[in-house]
Amino acid sequence: MTRAAFGQANIERIIRAAKSVGAVVQINLNHRILRPDGLYVILEEFGGVVVKRLEIAGRDDDGEVLIDIIAHNPRHSRKQEKASELQIIGRVAGRFSVM
């Protein structure tokens, strides 16, 4: 996915969110399929853009791949979604502190 296809407004929203928590992340927008497990930028169900650790959890009874969505903050519980329902924006390629 190109920057133009993803949308400048979405890119700016990611940058603002990252700055609010003290970090800026570099995102590989070409890496939109989970492989291997790692840190990814995903679109939440309510339109938020977040960085989460994604891990392949297995398959459900219908054979669909299940993905564990893990927050760095231990106060947030682990979630699980079907791979087909998860919108991966890209893989985190680097992280930079903001002063």
For the chain, domains (ranges, CATH) are 3-97 (2.10.109.10)
pLDDT above 60 for 32:
yes
Q: Are 87 and 47 in contact (CB under 8 A)?
A: no
More confident position, 4 or 36 = 36
pLDDT for residue 6: 58
pLDDT for residue 70: 94
Over the stretch 37-72, which tens digit does the pLDDT of each residue have?
Answer: 899 999 888 878 888 999 999 999 999 999 999 988
Q: pTM value?
A: 0.73
More confident position, 79 or 16 = 79
Beta strands across the sheet bearing 79-82: 23-28, 87-97, 38-43, 49-59, 65-70, 79-82
Taken as a whole, the chain contains a residue count of: 99
Mean per-residue pLDDT, 70-83:
90
Which tokens go with 53? 């650790």
pLDDT above 50 for 1:
no
